[in-house]
Amino acid sequence: MIGFEKTRRILENKIFIYVSSRYITYAILFVNSLLIAKFFGPSQLAVWGFLTLMIQYLNQLNLGISHSASAIISVEKENTNYVKSIVNNSLTIFFLFSLLVVATFIFFDVIEFKIGEKYGFDKFKLIILAISIITYFNTLFSNVYRVYGLINEIIFNQSAFPILMLISIIFFKGESLLWALLYSNLVAFLISLILFVKNSPLKIKFEFNWKLIKLIQKRGFYLFLYNSSFYLIMITTRTAISERYKIEEFGFYTFAYNLSSVILLLVESISFLIFPKIVNKMAVNNEADSIELFEILKNAYVSVSHLLAHIAVLLIPFFIYFFQEYNPSLSAFRLTTVTIILYTNTLSFVSYLIAKQKEMLLGFSAFLILIVNLIALFIATNVFKVDFSNVIISTFISNVFFLFLVSYFACKELKLSTNILFVFRNIFPLKQLIPILVSIFLVVLNFDSFFFIIPLLLYLILNYRILLSLKSIINRFIQNPNLINI
């Protein structure tokens, strides 16, 4: 039995609080995705999907400033004055960059350059611009707050919009719902920004120190190249489907992508908080300690992530049953889920390379894979003209190549073997690879939903020792809740 005192310490653990809040939020997001799909229908859902796609594009044009600041202050956390200068100069960069984004929108208006005409983007662009600019600052503050272990404002920032979305869905319909969702986004992010500034652990003001700005931007450029290329891999896949296929088919894919994203967000809730601590540890660890940390992450984080993905792939027909008009999304959901869950395999390798200030390797690796993905997408959509559900396979292949590259560079830094077979087995042990390949095989050959119990059973059989070992990690957490605190 767990004593009252230990229970209290678990409930007070910041990671426990944060993850619990995120799971509640993701439950709301999941419900929102289903309700939006039901009330919009495939065509209007495609419009909403395109608007969120544009927000994602603008968010990725962040120059890597937030990621650069996070990487620097994760290591320099104790040097308060230096950290304050890094954050304040980052704010200055974002302010100037926001002016540039606004000027770009005005320029597009002047030359009458139209984006997403068939989705009616023009009438929504001002509010999308406002949301994106506020997001730049909120992302920076979120990274600062997580380094200092301050989670209340982060929880609000991540939860307010889904809650307002749900309220909007209840009271609005049709195009009014589109506007309500966008204004909910704007209001939620604006309140979050006010809270971030008001409760900041550092004295916030705009500073201009050219030396620090160059440092932030130098590291930021490669992290921008990495993060933007990495996320653009998925975004360009959505763009290809939005442009090359019917609006209804993009609506089906948007439904599948939204549900799959919830699965990824479930596991990323932990990595978001522990990332600064991992970078800090890997920056000071020797090779042996870093390799040990790699194994812990692989066994605890990656294994559970893949298990959740296989469960989701099996159970999704039960949700689709209540949304029969979205039945064509079934295959797309399964393929998208096994594709995006690969992101969890990158955590240890990416953290190590950032800790060792190898952002350049990360940036150019991700950019190279983005090019590979664009070529693969072109071949899939223009040469083979595959069904919209199977377009994501090109992205799966691209992600595998990216995993290989970051693992190769990490192994090289750790003075491990860079033999192709060793590196591939390092990123994809057969016990993870086989169930994923079986899932893809079943989807492509259009097997009945019942057969998707096979990859789940395979995963459980091949990984039962690792999954059983998680019990000791859970017990250690119960004995010492601060073991994985931030």
Q: Which secondary-structure segment (H or E) carries 138?
A: helix 125-147
- Answer with the residue of higher pLDDT: 262 or 398: 398
Read off the tokens for 243: 């442009």
Q: pLDDT at residue 77 above 60?
A: yes
Angstrom CA distances, 83 to 61, 75, 89, 144, 466, stand at 23, 10, 10, 9, 39
Mean pLDDT of 421-439: 90
What is the reported pTM?
A: 0.77
pLDDT at 90: 92
Mean pLDDT of 434-439: 95
Angstrom CA distances, 155 to 87, 151, 188, 269, stand at 20, 6, 12, 11
Task: Give the torsion sign (CA, 30, 56, 190, 83).
Answer: positive
If you ran DSSP here, which 8-state letter would residue 76 be given? S
Look at the block and give the residue holding tokens 């589109």. 178
Is 455:462 a contact under the CB 8 Å cutoff?
A: no
- Answer with the residue of higher pLDDT: 470 or 424: 424
Among candidates 287, 427, 434, 429, which has minimal Cα distance to 347? Answer: 427
pLDDT digits (tens, 9 = 90+) for 196-234: 999 998 888 899 899 899 888 888 888 888 877 877 888
pLDDT at 380: 93
Summary mean pLDDT of the chain? 86
pLDDT at 176: 92
Q: For residues 97 and 115, give the distance between their C-alpha atoms in angstroms, rounded to a whole number.
A: 21
* Percent above pLDDT 90 for the chain: 37
Give the CA count within 13 Å in the CB-facing half-sphere of 322.
11
Q: pLDDT at residue 6 above 90?
A: no
Q: Give the pLDDT band (50/70/90) at residue 486.
A: very low
Q: For residues 130 and 128, give the distance between their C-alpha atoms in angstroms, rounded to a whole number.
A: 5
Helices (H), 61-124: 65-75, 80-110
Read off the tokens for 200: 């900041």
Mean pLDDT of 238-249: 87
Helices (H), 285-300: 287-297
Instruction: Write the DSSP string, 336-361.
Output: HHHHHGGGGGGHHHHHHHHHTT-HHH
Mean pLDDT of 84-90: 92
Q: What is the dihedral of CA 467, 473, 475, 481, to 10 degrees?
A: -140
pLDDT at 480: 57
pLDDT digits (tens, 9 = 90+) for 295-345: 777 777 888 889 999 999 999 888 787 878 888 999 999 999 999 888 888
User: Phi/psi class of residue 374: alpha, beta or left (left: φ > 0; alpha: ψ in -120 to 50)?
Assistant: alpha
pLDDT at 268: 75
Least confident of 83-97, 347-361, 385-399: 347-361
Mean pLDDT of 83-109: 92
- Answer with the residue of higher pLDDT: 219 or 455: 455
Contacts of 318 (CB under 8 A, 6+ apart): none
- Answer with the residue of higher pLDDT: 272 or 56: 56
